[in-house]
Chains A and B, each alone.
Chain A
Amino acid sequence: MRLGQTPWQTVGPFFHYALPHPGGADLTAPSEAGARPDLVAPGHAPLPGLSAATAGGEAIVVQGRVVDGAGAPVPDALVEIWQADAQGGFAGGRHFGRCATGDDGSYLFRTIRPGRTPGPGNSLQAPHIAVGVMGRGLLRRLVTRIYFADDPSLDEDPILALVPPERRGTLLAAADGAGGYRLDLVLQGPGETVFFDI
């Protein structure tokens, strides 16, 4: 007999003192393991950065805003990412990032440009970052992906191929010319981000 899944509930507006841990939005360096290192006994180990597993990886900034169906910024969202290292692997290091949006709805991650990771069958996926968006007014997590608009392997990606061509642009972060990428996460309405059922 299978047990029933525990239901999702909104993260609410008051998670900031409990979830975003210091350094959690920077995958290139170690971070605290929890939001309140002051409450944790001395001697706990911080979470390592991605760098140990990503020799030669390209450090990048990925940023944007979370906006609602009226185009207004969402200042109380929590954006989480999960990604491969520069070699496309998931062994060692911290592949996880967490960032609360600012008053202007902005999020910003410092990370390593991910490598290509296996897809279904014998396919290879284009470099991508998995994204989870939570917040007040979001009863369950919204899951999406960030791809890189300038990546030559986008056409080979088996997941992008499942997205109607006219909506693929909502998943492509544009190079900002300064070593960074920018993509807004649009919860609703024109330009609505493609969300995935995983």
Chain B
Amino acid sequence: MGLLTLGKAGLGAFRQALSAAELRVGPDGRPAARLPCPLASHILSIRMIEPDLFAREDDAAHPASLSEAYRSTALRSPGHRPIRIPQTLTETSGFTDWSQACAVGSADLTRTAGGEAIGQRILVAGRVLDEAGRPVPRTLVEVWQANAAGRYAHARDQWDAPLDPNFTGAGQVVTDDDGRYAFESIRPGAYPWGNHENAWRPAHIHFSLFGPAFATRLVTQMYFEGDPLIALDPIAQSVPAAARDRLVARFDLGLTRPSYALGYVFDIVLRGPAATPTEA
């Protein structure tokens, strides 16, 4: 990364030195063995920023933009395939430490100054990891969800189910050094939507994560083990079958707090380091 501090003139001089080394030819007209170059360490620096830092989004894990069953995608999914570009500093930089920005999060959605929310108390906890299994520390996790009746505290949610003045419906936490997060909530209710006849969203919690770079951003939804609506839901079913279970939190007796709340474990895996050719 020291190379990035070189000015443009420095880069030009370096480019010339590299060309001279590459263009040297032997007596037979074929390229001669490369001469040792005093800038060799800089070549390594350049090569290090050339390959992708992060694995690409895995098409076997993510939904396609267009889903016939999810009608709102019809006019909102691009007709062109996205153009693959190399990852530059723009894509590989990001927030690496949110812990100072919001030292005290709102990890408890179940109460306000006015009292306690109604419904089944739950604890949701897990780890944020990358594909290599390494924890993603100090990253922001934002969550929001419907209340126990399936109603959002949102002006545009007009479904005729009761609001709960003591359910905040939104929270944010920062992972610890081991990538762990936890928050306390109320099990959300299912809610109807207009996608098709008698359509109901399974109970779910929305998650938003940043990870270490612009490239690692993830917004997803967490479902609950055993919910029969998952199999009927076009949004959950938009995920390739082999990866669908990754969105389902499992009940965990160890996390369950006696006489207080049921525990659900939901681990989240963000894009990790790109596989190197030697690993392939």
Contacts and interface: CB of A to CB of B under 8 A. Distances in A.
Interface string A173-191: 0000000000000011100
B136 to A, nearest CB: 11
B219 interface: yes
A11 B142 CA distance: 12
A122 B46 contact: yes
Contact of A18 (B70, B143, B275): B143
A100 B120 CA distance: 31
Given A11-B208, A40-B102, A197-B56, A17 B154 contact: yes
A16 B157 CA distance: 11
Interface string B92-107: 0111001011111110
A117 B156 contact: no
Interface string B33-68: 000000000000010011000011110011111010
Nearest to B10: A122
Interface string A121-149: 11011001010101111111111010000
Contacts of B94: 82
B79 A188 contact: yes
Given A33-B101, A120-B86, A10 B46 contact: no
B169 interface: yes
B152 A40 contact: no
A162 B152 contact: no
Given A137-B76, A138-B73, A2 B219 contact: no
A33 B270 CA distance: 22
A34 interface: yes
Contacts of B171: 39
Contact of A36 (B106, B215, B235): B106
Contacts, number: 271
B152 A14 contact: yes
Interface stretch (B23-31, B127-135, B224-232, B252-260): B127-135
A33 to B, nearest CB: 4
A195 B72 CA distance: 19
Interface in A18-52: 18-19, 33-36, 39-41, 43-47
B104 A187 contact: no
A197 B82 contact: yes
B76 A34 contact: no
Contacts of B185: none
Contact of B270 (A5, A15, A139): A5
Given A34-B142, A140-B63, A141-B219, A124 B169 contact: no
A152 interface: no
A195 B75 contact: no
Given A6-B270, A14-B157, A187-B76, A121 B46 contact: yes
Nearest to B152: A14
A40 B85 contact: no
A187 B72 CA distance: 12
Interface in A68-105: 68-70, 72, 74, 76, 80, 82-84, 90, 95-96
A69 B88 CA distance: 30
Contact of B169 (A18, A68, A121): A18
A4 B85 contact: no
Nearest to A128: B90
Contacts of A76: 156
A7 B85 contact: no
B243 A187 contact: no
B106 A140 contact: no
11 contacts: A6-B220, A14-B156, A80-B217, A119-B88, A120-B88, A139-B64, A139-B70, A188-B78, A193-B78, A195-B82, A197-B57
Given A17-B153, A80-B217, 5 more contacts: A3-B131, A4-B243, A5-B58, A122-B15, A198-B85
Q: Which 4 A-B pairs have the closest CB atoms?
A: A137-B72, A18-B144, A18-B170, A39-B106
